[in-house]
Amino acid sequence: MRNLLITMRFCGASYHGFQVQKNATTITQVFQDAVEEVLGKRYDIKGCSRTDAGVHANRYCISMKVDDACTVPCQGLVRGLNAHLPGDVVVLDCCEVEEDFHARYNCLGKRYVYKFHNAAVRDPFLKARVYHSQSGIILDAEAMNTAARHFLGSHDFSAFCAAGGSVEDKVRTIYAAQVYREGDIVTFSVTGNGFLYNMVRIMAGTLLAVGQHRLSSDEIPNIIAGMDRSRAGLTLPPDGLYLDDVFYSPDQLPRQL
C-alpha cells in the first residue's frame, strides 16, 4: 500500500465545500473523478480540513492510500490529475509518506487569510474572491491589526464560534495574527493549531467593525473573555476566506506568540 500526500489549490466559488454532498458539486467529487480517470479506481481520500461552500485554498493537503499495483510515479500522477481536473482546481505536488500519515490528524496548524476589497466601487474580476466592504468607509487597517493581536495565545473562542458546531472544547491557540493593506486589499492573516466552526469569518467580521470604528480594538479581550457569540461581529461571507497554508512540522509554526 502506498500512502500519497497530495497538495492542491482551488477556487471554491463554484463548489459546495470539500466534503461529498448529495446533489451538489464538491472538491472531493471532482478530485475523485480525476483519480478514477487516471488510476481506474475511485480511491478514498482524507482532507486536511473541512471547508464550507465558496471557501478557497491556496494550499490544501489530501492523503490517499493506493494499491501497491499502482506504480504511477508521483510527478506522473500530478500531470495526469491536472489533465482531468476542472480549471479552478489544480494539483501542485505529490509525495509518498508513511503508511499511518493522515492529512487531517497529523496537521499541527493552519493559516487562513481573509481578504477585504476596500474601495468605493466593486471590482467585477474579484467577484466571489474577496469581501467587498460597501460602507464607503476607508478601513483603519492599523486599528484592525492592533485588534488582531488580542487573538494571540490560548483562549476559549466560544464568542467566535457559530451555532451548529459540534465541538465541546473551544480552546484554541493562535500563533500569529495580523492585518495589512496592499492598495485596495486589506488582508487578515491568522495562524493557529485549529479553528472552530466559522471562527475566522467571525474574527474577520469583528475586525471589520474595528476598521469601521464601530468597535474599539480594546474591546476584543472582553469579547473573548465573555464567551458570548452575540458580542462578536458578523459572520462574513465565505468569498474572502482562503486556507492559506497547512503545517505538519513544529518548525513551520511561528515560534513566538
Residues identified as active-site: 52
**Assign residue 111 a region: left if phi > 0, alpha if psi is -120 to 50, beta otherwise?**
beta
3-state helix, strand, coil in the chain (%, to 5): 30, 30, 40
**Integer Cα distance of 234 and 205 in angstroms:** 5
- The set of residues, in sequence order, having a beta carbon less than 8 Å from that of 82 and lying 6+ positions away, is 90, 91
- The set of residues, in sequence order, having a beta carbon less than 8 Å from that of 73 and lying 6+ positions away, is none
Cα radius of gyration rounded to whole Å, the chain: 19
How would you class 226 by CB atoms within 10 Å of its CB: exposed for 0-12, middle for 13-18, buried for 19 or more?
Answer: middle
